[in-house]
Structure 1
Amino acid sequence: MCCVEDDWHHRKRRVELPGRRPIAFVDSGGSGPPLLLLHGFSDTGRSFVALAPLLAGYRLIIPDLPGHGASAMADGMRVSDFAASIDRFLAFMGISRIAVIGHSMGAMTAIELAARRRDDVSALVLLSASLSPDFGSDSPLSRGICALRDPIDPAGQFLRDWYSCSRPVEPDFLSKMRMEAAAMPAAIWKGILQGFAETDLRHSAGQVTAPVLCIGGSADPLFGGSHREALAQAFPSVRSITLEGYGHNPHWEDPQRVSTLMLSFLAEAGMV
């Protein structure tokens, strides 16, 4: 796995989990309440580079999920495997009481993690999430991933489409995201896609005791209205917000607005 060599990359630390599998992460430090931020499929912790300064009152823990960025692949590529790795990471770091923010696959991982750590997760923010992310083997997205071959071209049409947004996003940021995504082997792309087909988080969502905020874009091409409706009905305590005209990456498209919604929710949940 390679990473873009810049300030974000050089801020990363590494810890070695059992099995000699390193997890790379950024820890903002500070004495504020801890927030765990989990990125989406093919992304890295860089996904939150614009959001992080707006959450500066908190101690931000931002890992690269296994097989992404500078983190080694774990035993499996299902959402439950990612959650198990992050659970071990938190235990290694000695972090217990925490709020979790997740985007897309990271949001699914956050649901599973919150079900496992019901006494520790105090609030859950889900961006562009799904309980059942099976895209179907014949969908254009699935066909595009199955057609990937190493080395993946960061400037190719697939990654340009994959990282398209509904609102303007800084081009240099998107270029770096594509470069890091292209460094992920095609076999991992395909393995995670297969893991999605086996994922159903409805039971896990029902086990979550923390208050939940779901934020989705009305123009999300991956997880549309039916996914947002399922999320709104899945949790014991949930608030659902749809942002009109926003796509799958609202925290990139408007980090100021998204952070304001998050901060208000976290304050109400007592995470101040």
Structure 2
Amino acid sequence: MTPVDLYYLDQPSDEHPDATPLVVIHGLLGSADNWRSHLKVWQTSRRVIAIDLRNHGRSPHAAGMSYAQMTADVLAVMDKLSLSRVHVLGHSMGGKVAISLARQHPERVASLVVADIAPVTYQHGHDDVFAALERVREGQPANRREADDLLAEHVDSRPTRLFLATNLVRSEQGGLTLRVGLDHIRQDYEAIIGVPAGTAAYEGPTLVLRGDESPYVSDAMLPALRDMLPSARVVTLKQAGHWLHADQPTAFQQSVEAFLAAQTP
């Protein structure tokens, strides 16, 4: 398979240039931009690279959203940057990409941080979100207030609408347009809600962070998680939902940094 040439943010660490870098992978309909405040914290101790997956952020649009394909894209970025071994952090869909990378190329992964996702097949849960984005695409809003009104026709939650609005950019015609490859995402949604790629368990150091108000990593899913990630330590963040890095940013940052600091440089 031919990898997509992904966009990425590369934040060097002046204080610790020799520390093992951290690669950050966003979730469905997210982007590297969502992680800028976290990158500033983590780059004090190591180089941090945040990636836009295919059909997201500033990366190209391309057919296929399988975890094997997205893992190949991330691996190509690592090769391009001559990153032989990295820590990997992934949230939600990005967590499944991170697990896939660790399972398929364990020699490239020093440790793994999985944020609020389990390696299981989920039920359909984004129909309203896709409908809202489609409504914005059809409505061609002139400004963000108009865009929010269109999103609100399908999504009641204002925080969710604000998150979705991060996918809007100004078009050459002056209005707002989507920057995500919505059609490709919808066409391969079954793959997105499916299990990570790979056949072997990842035996390396693993931290799984979950929100106590999120259903994405329930206790019933832990046996499947430990089958695939036998060394996983599961930590639950209080007063946090699925976007736990936004709900409890300081606790999230500190949990990740403490885990990485405990690993072999």
Q: TM-score, normalised by structure 2?
A: 0.79
- Alpha-carbon deviation of 1:143? 5.6
* Superposition CA RMSD, Å: 2.9
Q: Is residue 2:17 matched to residue 1:22?
A: no
- The number of residues matched between the two structures is 242
Q: Is the 8 A contact 2:207 2:259 kept in 1?
A: yes
Q: Is residue 2:24 matched to residue 1:37?
A: yes
Q: Given the superposition, is the C-alpha separation of residues 202 and 183 from structure 1 closer, same or farther in structure 2, using an over 3 Å criterion?
A: closer
Q: Is residue 2:242 matched to residue 1:248?
A: yes
Q: Is residue 2:110 matched to residue 1:125?
A: no
In structure 1, what is the Cα distance between the partners aligned to 2:68 and 2:156? 29
Q: Is the 8 A contact 1:101 1:125 kept in 2?
A: yes
Q: Is residue 2:101 matched to residue 1:113?
A: yes
Residue 221 of structure 2: aligned partner: 227
In structure 2, what is the Cα distance between the partners aligned to 1:147 and 1:59? 36
Q: Is the 8 A contact 2:96 2:117 kept in 1?
A: yes
Q: Is the 8 A contact 1:54 1:256 kept in 2?
A: no
Deviations 1:94-117 (A, max 9, x none): 111100010000000000011122
Residue 260 of structure 1: aligned partner: 254
- Alpha-carbon deviation of 1:40? 0.3
In structure 2, what is the Cα distance between the partners aligned to 1:162 and 1:67? 24
In structure 1, what is the Cα distance between the partners aligned to 2:219 and 2:25? 23
SS of residue in 1 equivalent to 2:56: coil
- Alpha-carbon deviation of 1:163? 4.7
Q: Is residue 2:174 matched to residue 1:179?
A: no
Bigger radius of gyration: 2
Residue 185 of structure 2: aligned partner: 189
Residue 100 of structure 1: aligned partner: 88
Q: Is the 8 A contact 1:131 1:202 kept in 2?
A: no
* Structure 1 outlier segments of 4+, above 4 Å: none
Q: TM-score, normalised by structure 1?
A: 0.77
- Alpha-carbon deviation of 1:200? 2.2
Give, as a single letter, the amino acid of the residue that structure 2 aligns with 1:24. Y
In structure 2, what is the Cα distance between the partners aligned to 1:226 and 1:152? 40
- Alpha-carbon deviation of 1:134? 2.7
- Alpha-carbon deviation of 1:122? 0.6
Give, as a single letter, the amino acid of the residue that structure 1 aligns with 2:196. L
- Alpha-carbon deviation of 1:48? 1.0
In structure 1, what is the Cα distance between the partners aligned to 2:215 and 2:223? 15
Aligned with 1:200 (options 185, 191, 195): 195
- Alpha-carbon deviation of 1:133? 3.6
Unaligned runs of 5+ in 2: 140-146, 170-176
Give, as a single letter, the amino acid of the residue that structure 2 aligns with 1:44. S
- Alpha-carbon deviation of 1:191? 2.5
Q: Is the 8 A contact 1:98 1:123 kept in 2?
A: yes
